[in-house]
Amino acid sequence: RFQAFVYFACVFQAMSCGIHYLASVFMAVTPNFVCGIPGNVSSVLFYNSSESSLEDIWTLWTSTEKYIVVQLENGEIWELNQCSRSKREMSLDLAYEYKGNKSVFSCSDGFLYDDTKWKSTVVTQWELVCDREWLAKLIQPTFMLGVLIGAVIFGDIADRLGRQRVIWFTSASQFVFGIAVAFTFDYYSFVIVRFLLAMVSSGYLVVAFVYVTEFVGIKARTWASMHVHAFFAVGIMIVALVGFFVRTWWVYQICLSIATLPFVLCCWMLPETPFWLLSEERYEDAQKVINIMARWNKVSTPCKVSELCSVQQDDLVGGRVGDNDTSSTKKHNILDLFCNWHIARRTITVWLIWFTGSLGYYVFSLSSVSLGGNEYLNLFLIGAVELPCYIIACIGMDKLGRRNTLIPFLIFSALICVLIMFIPQDFNTLIILANMAGKFSIGVAFGLIYLYTAELYPTIVRSLAVGSGSMMCRVGSVVAPFCVYLRSVWIFMPLLLVGIMALLSGILTIMLPETLGKPLTNTLVEATEMGRSKKSCSGKTPPAHSGGALDKIEMFGQETVSTEK
């Protein structure tokens, strides 16, 4: 019961990460717009349709390459384009076609926006169009850059100061910065506060993953770790629901930020993990947490820290004697992931899968609002399709194996990208279903790679391998918004890039070893042999300790496992 309480409390807050990661799809949308006009409008003309106000003409607007003709109360006739306006010099009749002289002016009177769908967005608030359009396109990439930096910073802080403090700080900061975004006074303050929000959101997601894994036993490790991502997907669905009901960006932002307020109010009750306390030699604090867990789980004889420490001392002494204490202090770095051809090939493949999974995940998510039809329903379905994909991933990992599940879903996602290119643009429903299938398949691969990476590498570089893979994942999330913007070059360019990467990743994954049912390796030699290579890395590597001290926590209801991210 204790582990269940901690798990569901933490993953509930993971919804806020999904919320803030995808909030910009509606908050930074660019509606139809034209140049502002210097006067009051008496009539509006678009092709053969004449209206008395500009608001009535937006429903007829079909292409940004067309212009709108307006006549002012003083008799002047203007042609309004998106980034310029022209005044007709010698025209008395209101007609759409005009061959006479025109004077071209800039949009010095601002812009007129279509507010039938969105009453206000950050684009209309600060006029991020035309020569300022690039600023709007930087909103999501700068957020993802904050995600990358936050994962590095708070992951390190959590190892130094503890998981509990980082969870307290990041969850409270998510609420504070989330509300602060709604009250920013200009574009630059908006981007800065969103950058800080991205850092704490990413920091929470990384640390919460480690936190719940250190509490949940090995029997539930796969399902528990995978379904942290499922709650992230629920956050995406909440974005779609709130966006449907709230059409003013700052109100929308406030509503999204208060969605997870209950966790902020109760997160102070979460304890530090016994794993971290024991690693810091805070034995009395660790005993207090163990006793609390025992009371919750109704275990009458909880284990004693003194017993754990004595076992751990024996393990450590045995390890030192076995190696003559020559390599236990060896420091490992990123070059160890390239110590021989087989490990190097494995590392390149794993990094490519991390990058492809993140790129495909966010390309499918961010582009869902541009598929046609109801953009709110599209985003909701793109989020909802993740829920069954993680169940399928868990079943496939345990029944078929990690590699045998990863390969077909990567190749299937590549085939889906190709299939979408051949679907006629009028078939909106079919396009949406195909994109859901693509998100489903890439979601399986994206969720699976976390655990698979940890199992492919030995203990001495496992944290380094997962951390470097996570960095490639963040790089993919930064690149994804720019990839989506390539739709302006060719509508299928994002899908083409994702398809090529997924196909290449799927083919290279064939060369990876299967890890299902195999024990975790301790040295680089063992990891190389798992790939059926006779060539080993030079130098001795220390054996991984069995962790028998920590495993005794099983006495009060759960087996334990240390998972790094």
The per-residue pLDDT string of the chain (565 residues; one tens digit each, 9 = 90 and over) reads 888 888 888 888 888 889 999 999 999 988 888 888 877 888 888 877 777 677 777 777 766 667 888 888 888 888 888 888 988 887 667 787 888 888 888 888 889 888 888 899 999 999 999 889 999 999 999 999 998 888 878 877 887 788 888 888 999 999 999 999 999 989 999 999 999 999 999 888 888 877 887 787 767 777 777 788 888 899 999 999 999 999 999 999 999 999 878 888 877 888 888 878 887 778 888 888 888 888 888 887 767 776 666 555 455 444 444 444 444 445 667 788 888 888 889 999 999 999 999 999 999 998 888 887 788 999 999 999 988 888 888 888 888 888 999 999 999 999 999 999 998 888 888 999 999 999 999 988 888 887 788 788 886 777 678 778 888 888 998 899 999 988 888 889 999 999 999 999 999 999 999 888 787 777 788 888 875 643 444 444 444 343 444 444 433 333 333 333 3
Q: Strand, helix or coil at 210? A: helix
- The domain locations on the chain are 1-30+120-265, 33-116, 271-309, 335-529
State how far the Cα of 407 lies from the Cα of 396, in Å rounded to an integer.
11
Q: Cα–Cα distances in Å, from 386 out to 22, 237, 317, 424?
A: 15, 10, 47, 26
State how far the Cα of 208 lies from the Cα of 163, in Å rounded to an integer.
8
Q: Would 1-30+120-265 and 335-529 be classified into the same CATH topology?
A: yes
Q: Which of the 8 DSSP states describes residue 72? A: E
Q: Which of the 8 DSSP states describes residue 82? A: S
Inter-residue contact 254 to 175 (CB < 8 Å): no
Inter-residue contact 219 to 21 (CB < 8 Å): no
Q: Cα–Cα distances in Å, from 321 out to 119, 309, 311, 313, 542?
A: 71, 18, 16, 12, 11
CATH top class, domain 335-529: mainly alpha
Q: Strand, helix or coil at 265? A: helix
State how far the Cα of 341 lies from the Cα of 504, in Å rounded to an integer.
19
State how far the Cα of 146 lies from the Cα of 169, in Å rounded to an integer.
16
Q: Position of tokens 């199992």? A: 455
In CATH terms, the fold of domain 1-30+120-265 is Growth Hormone; Chain: A; (1.20.1250)
Longest CA pairwise span in the chain (Å)? 100
